[in-house]
Structure 1
C-alpha cells in the first residue's frame, strides 16, 4: 500500500513542468488546495526571504524534537511558501513527509470545526452567545452548570475542569455525554480562565441538538464541502492510512489514522475538541476564507462581521486572559510584536504539534503541521513554531498600536480602553494628589514618613523632600523598610541619619520591625509612601501593617499615599496563605497575587484584623484597575535591588515561589527572577520539560549562570531563563507550581520541595506537588477558595 502511495506521489511530481494544468493536478493530488504563488507576483513576503524556514525545520528534526513537518505561509491572497521536511513515519519503512500528508489536527478541531459551526448557528439566529448552554441541552445544566453560557464555553471561562476523568469507566459518545452532565464547575462561570476540552465537547453536542446533524456530518455539509476542503474529515477511511502521519503508541498500539486524543478516541473519534484530520492545503483554504471575511472563491460560510466578532477580545470584562470566540489572540506579525498589545492576530495550536496562525493586519497566515508526539510522545513543536513566527515577523514592517487599530477598526475601542505599552496616563499617585491639595490633611502636624526610593512624585521629587518643604507641615522622622531608604541593600539594615535633611532614619528591617514608642516620640501622624510589587510575600505590605498596629496603639493617625498595583489590580491568582503560616513574608491570608493597591490593602488589614487605626487613604486619580505600571504614565523606580524591571516584577509571584528551596532564582546576576538554576540541574532537560507543558505567557531557554551573591554564590548553575512572552496570559503562581512540580518530578532526590512552603503558603498545594499531581489540576482547585477571597476583596476596592 505504501509503495502504491509513493508511486502516486512520483507520478504527480512528474507533472511539474507541464504548465498550469500540471500544477493544478499536482495541487489536487497532494491535497494542497491553492495554487502556489507565481514568480513576479508582488507578495509582501517572498520565497527568497523565507528560505530560512528550511534551516529552522531541519534543525528541529536533527534535534529529535519532531520527525518532520509541513510549513505553509500565505500572504496577500497567495501561498508564498510551502514545503515538506523529514518523515511522517520512521519505521518499519520510512514514510517521507509530503505537502499532502494528512495530520491529526488535535485542538485545531476547536476552531476549524466547532467554533465555525457555532458561529454559523449564531448568524442564523439559532444560537445566542449569552444564553445558558442548558437552553439547548437541558441536562447539561445539572450539577451547578445551569448558569454557564455559550460564550463562556467558547472563551474557556465556563469554570469547568480541563477534561473528563478517564479513570472512570465511561465509554462511547453517549457515555461522554453522561460524564459531562455529571461534571461540576471548579470555578464560578465568568470568573476564571480554565482551558477546558469539556467546553468544546459540550459545544459539539449543542451543535448536534440545534442543527439536527451530528458534528461531523454538519461540518462536512456546511463548512468543508462548500469550501472544497476535500481532505478534511473526522475518522478518515482506512485506505487513506499511508497518507496520514501516525502519532503515538498508546496502550501498546500506534495511533495511525485514528484520533490521538484519549477522550476523543474513547468517544469514537468525533468530538468538538479533537478528532479532525486535514492537510496544509485545506487549512490554507480555510485561513484565506477567514481573511476574506468568511468567503472563498465566491462561497460564503460566515459573514464578515461574524468573523471579526469571533476574533476580537470576548473574555469577560476586566479579565486579562484574552480570548476570542474559540480563538486565542496574539499580536500581529511585526518585528516589534513584543511591544504591541496581544490583539490583532488570532491563532490556535494542537497537542499533536499543529498550528494555525492568522494575521488580518498583514493579511498573512502560517500553518505548521507536525506529528511531534510520534512515536512515544517526547517531541516538542514549540521551538519550531516560535522560530518560524519570529522569522516571518522580521520580514514585515514595524507597527504602532494606532496602525493595528486602524486596520482592524473593531479593536479601536479595545486599544483605547486598555492603552498602549506607553500607557494612556497620566495617573496621579497619592503623593501627587496630596501635593495638589497643598498637603492640607497634614497641616499643623509633626509627621513621621515611612518610605524608600520609590516614594517620589510624578516629577521625581522625593516625598521626604516635599514634606520637609510643605508649609505648615513638620517632617520629624523617617522610617525605612527592607532594602533601606535607598533600596540598595540586600541584608539587615541599620538605623542612621538622612544627610540632606538631618533627620533620623529608623530601620524597620533591623533590630525591630515595628515602630517603637521611642521612635514615635513627638510624631503626630505617620505617612506611608512606598511602591509594593503586587505579591503576597513582598515585605513592604507587612511593614505597613505593623506600622498601622503601632499607630493604633499610640493613637497616631495613619495616612497611606496610594500607588498602583504594578502588575494590575484586576487579577487575583494563586493559593491563599494558611492562617497559621502568617509571618513577615505574609501577614494576612492573601492569595499570591491579590490584585489590590496598597491603600486598598490598608483598608482590608485595618478592618479584618481589627487594628483600630485612624486610617486615611489618599486616593490616586485617573487610575484604572487593569493598568500595568507602564500604562499609568508614572516613572518606573525599581522597588528593590532584585526587581529592576516590570518584566521581573511580573515573573516574581511565580519564580519567587521556589526561592526558599535549594535553587538560585538569579539573585546576584543581571536577571533576577528570570532565572532558575542549580549545579545539579540538566538545563536542556528542564527547558524541554517545561516547554512541553505549554505554559501560557512564557517560554524557557536552557542557560548557565554564576551568581555573584546569594545562593550558590560563585558556583556554576545550570537551568532555564524564563522569557516573558505575554504578560496578559501569564498566571504567575501557576508558573511557580509548574516549576516546582518539574523540579520535584525530575530531581526527587535533589530538589528540597518542603522548603518552598513559606512562599507557597498553603500546605495542601505543597502536598499536591509532592504527590505528583498535575499542576493544572492544582490551579483549578485553588480557584474555589479565590471566590471567597474575591467577595472579601470587593468590600475594600477603591477604584
Structure 2
C-alpha cells in the first residue's frame, strides 16, 4: 500500500498540474476540436512528477511501442530505456495485445520473452494469461501503466488496464497511470455494452466511444467498482498538461499495426464493426480502416486486393478484387457513422453471409444487428443509443480530469 507521505506528495503534484492546465487559453477551432496555446505534454514526459516516486522501488511496466518520452515531434526514447538511465529499478515489462514492440496481428497470442536491448523479462498479457498472476507480481512494489489508447471500447488496452488494476488490488500493489491524450476524446457515441455480452473486447457498460483518457478511465474502473469482488486499486494518475477533450492530437507512433495514421484512428469506431462481418475493412492494404469492400459487391470504380502485410497475415478475401468505398478523403468525424455498415449490408447479396459470430461481441449488444436486419435508418439507430449515452455521461462526469 502507499504510505501517507507518498499519497500527500502525489495529490500536491496533481493539484499544481491540474490548475496549471485549466488556465491555458484556446487559439484555434477546427471541426469542434481546439488547439491550445501550450504544447500538450503526456504524463510520461513529465518525469519530475513521477520518477521521484519510483526510486528505491521494484517497478514493473505495462508498455508497448507507444510507451515513449517525446523530446520533440520526431525524437523520443522508450519509457523503459529512459527510466533505466534515471536509475529506476525496472524488474519486468508486461506486454498487451500486439506485443511489446507492437508487431503482432490482432488476436495473435504473444509468448513471454526477454527484451534483447535491456535484458528485462517480458511477460505477455495476451498469451497464457491476460491478468498478471500473483507469482508474476511477486516482489513488485509498483506497476506503471503507459500505453496509448484510442478511446474505443473494443480496443483491448482498457481491458488490459482492468486486469492489471484488479491483480494489483488483490496483491496490495499501487498502479501508476501515465496519462496520454485520447484522439477520439472529442465525442461520445455508439451502442452501450450490455453486460451479458461482456468479453475482452468489451468489459464495461460504456458506449463504444466514451470520450475519456486512459487515466480518467482508470479512475472510473475504480470508482464504479468494476474490478472483481468490488476491490479498488491504489491508483495514481500522472495527468496531461495543456489538454482538453477537444484538443487535436497527432499520434506520432501507430498505436497498433492496423491503425497507421490519424485518419484510420478517426474512422476506427465506425469501421471496427466490420471486424464481426465478412467485409474487409482495409486489412491487407496500406489503408487499414480507411476503406471497406468485398468481392461480392457490385463492380465499381474503386477496388483493391488485400494481401498479407504488416499486422495482417491472413486478411479477409486475400488475393481477391474487393469493390467498395474509399474513405481516405472524408471529413474528420465527431460521431460513429453507422451508414457505412448499413451500406455494406445492403450491398451484400442475400446468398452471402454478412454477420459473423463476433459481431455482437464488437457491438456489445444484439440490438444493432437486429436493427440493421430490419432496415432501421442510421438516424433511428443513433436515436436509440441516446438514453444510455445520457446515463453514461452522468457517470463519466465524476471521473473527468480535463475539460
CA displacement 1:447-505 (0-9 Å, x = unmatched): 0000001000122111111222224x311000101111111111211110011211100
**Cα distance in 2 for residues equivalent to 1:527 and 1:706:** 38
**Cα distance in 1 for residues equivalent to 2:231 and 2:365:** 25
CA displacement 1:349-373 (0-9 Å, x = unmatched): xxxxxxxxxxxxxxxxxxxxxxxxx
**Cα distance in 2 for residues equivalent to 1:438 and 1:664:** 43
CA displacement 1:584-621 (0-9 Å, x = unmatched): 10111111111000001100111211331111111111
Tell whether 2:63 aligns with 1:451.
yes
Q: 1:741 aligns with which of 327, 339, 342?
A: 342
Q: How does 1:588-607 map to 2 (within 5 A)?
A: 588-607=204-223
**Cα distance in 2 for residues equivalent to 1:413 and 1:451:** 33
Tell whether 2:316 aligns with 1:711.
yes
Q: 1:720 aligns with which of 315, 325, 329?
A: 325
Q: 1:621 aligns with which of 241, 262, 270?
A: 241
Q: Does the CA contact (< 8 Å) of 2:186 and 2:211 recur in 1? A: yes
Q: How does 1:242-281 map to 2 (within 5 A)?
A: none
Provide the residue aligned with 1:506 in structure 2.
123
**Cα distance in 1 for residues equivalent to 2:324 and 2:33:** 35
Gap regions ≥5 residues in structure 1: 1-410, 685-700
Q: 1:761 aligns with which of 361, 364, 376?
A: 364
- The change in CA–CA distance for 1:504 and 1:781 in structure 2 (over 3 A counts) is same
- The change in CA–CA distance for 1:659 and 1:414 in structure 2 (over 3 A counts) is closer
Provide the residue aligned with 1:440 in structure 2.
52
Q: Does the CA contact (< 8 Å) of 1:455 and 1:463 recur in 2? A: yes
Gap regions ≥5 residues in structure 2: 1-25, 309-313
Q: Does the CA contact (< 8 Å) of 2:303 and 2:321 recur in 1? A: no
Q: 2:383 aligns with which of 780, 786, 792?
A: 780
Q: Does the CA contact (< 8 Å) of 2:103 and 2:256 recur in 1? A: yes
The size of the alignment, in residue pairs, is 359
**Cα distance in 2 for residues equivalent to 1:509 and 1:657:** 22
CA displacement 1:540-582 (0-9 Å, x = unmatched): 1100111111101111111100000012x23101110111111
**Cα distance in 2 for residues equivalent to 1:496 and 1:582:** 30
Structure 1 window deviating more from structure 2 (572-581 vs 754-763): it is 754-763
Provide the residue aligned with 1:771 in structure 2.
374
- Give how far 1:716 is off: 2.4
Q: Does the CA contact (< 8 Å) of 1:492 and 1:510 recur in 2? A: yes
**Cα distance in 2 for residues equivalent to 1:679 and 1:751:** 13
Q: Does the CA contact (< 8 Å) of 1:453 and 1:485 recur in 2? A: yes
Structure 1 window deviating more from structure 2 (596-605 vs 486-495): it is 486-495
- Give how far 1:712 is off: 1.9
- Give how far 1:679 is off: 1.5
The alignment partner of 1:457 has SS state of strand
**Cα distance in 2 for residues equivalent to 1:543 and 1:770:** 33
**Cα distance in 2 for residues equivalent to 1:704 and 1:412:** 41
Q: Does the CA contact (< 8 Å) of 1:754 and 1:766 recur in 2? A: no
Provide the residue aligned with 1:664 in structure 2.
280
Q: Does the CA contact (< 8 Å) of 2:34 and 2:246 recur in 1? A: no
Tell whether 2:94 aligns with 1:479.
yes
**Cα distance in 1 for residues equivalent to 2:324 and 2:355:** 17
Q: Does the CA contact (< 8 Å) of 2:263 and 2:328 recur in 1? A: no
Q: How does 1:627-642 map to 2 (within 5 A)?
A: 627-630=247-250, 636-642=252-258
Tell whether 2:302 aligns with 1:702.
yes
**Cα distance in 1 for residues equivalent to 2:214 and 2:369:** 28
Q: 1:488 aligns with which of 81, 103, 124?
A: 103
Q: 1:429 aligns with which of 42, 48, 52?
A: 42
CA displacement 1:261-318 (0-9 Å, x = unmatched): xxxxxxxxxxxxxxxxxxxxxxxxxxxxxxxxxxxxxxxxxxxxxxxxxxxxxxxxxx
- Give how far 1:637 is off: 0.8
**Cα distance in 2 for residues equivalent to 1:484 and 1:742:** 34
**Cα distance in 1 for residues equivalent to 2:370 and 2:132:** 37
Q: Does the CA contact (< 8 Å) of 1:743 and 1:751 recur in 2? A: no
- Give how far 1:683 is off: 4.3
Provide the residue aligned with 1:392 in structure 2.
none
Provide the residue aligned with 1:549 in structure 2.
166
Give 4+ residue runs of structure 1 displaced > 6 Å after superposition.
Answer: none
Across the aligned residues of Structure 1 and Structure 2, the Cα RMSD in angstroms comes to: 2.0
CA displacement 1:88-141 (0-9 Å, x = unmatched): xxxxxxxxxxxxxxxxxxxxxxxxxxxxxxxxxxxxxxxxxxxxxxxxxxxxxx
The alignment partner of 2:109 has SS state of coil
Tell whether 2:324 aligns with 1:675.
no
Q: More helix per residue: 1 or 2? A: 1
**Cα distance in 2 for residues equivalent to 1:782 and 1:590:** 11
Bigger Rg, which one: 1
Provide the residue aligned with 2:146 in structure 1.
529
**Cα distance in 1 for residues equivalent to 2:222 and 2:115:** 30
- The change in CA–CA distance for 1:413 and 1:607 in structure 2 (over 3 A counts) is closer
- The change in CA–CA distance for 1:511 and 1:442 in structure 2 (over 3 A counts) is same
**Cα distance in 2 for residues equivalent to 1:524 and 1:481:** 20
- Give how far 1:418 is off: 5.2
Provide the residue aligned with 2:176 in structure 1.
559
**Cα distance in 2 for residues equivalent to 1:758 and 1:723:** 27
Q: Does the CA contact (< 8 Å) of 1:753 and 1:770 recur in 2? A: no
- Give how far 1:414 is off: 4.5
**Cα distance in 2 for residues equivalent to 1:577 and 1:649:** 21
Q: Does the CA contact (< 8 Å) of 2:94 and 2:122 recur in 1? A: yes
Provide the residue aligned with 1:648 in structure 2.
264
Q: Does the CA contact (< 8 Å) of 1:678 and 1:712 recur in 2? A: yes
**Cα distance in 2 for residues equivalent to 1:449 and 1:777:** 44
**Cα distance in 1 for residues equivalent to 2:203 and 2:33:** 32
Q: Does the CA contact (< 8 Å) of 2:283 and 2:306 recur in 1? A: no
Q: How does 1:275-424 map to 2 (within 5 A)?
A: 414=29, 419=34, 424=37
Q: TM-score, normalised by structure 1?
A: 0.43
- Give how far 1:419 is off: 4.7
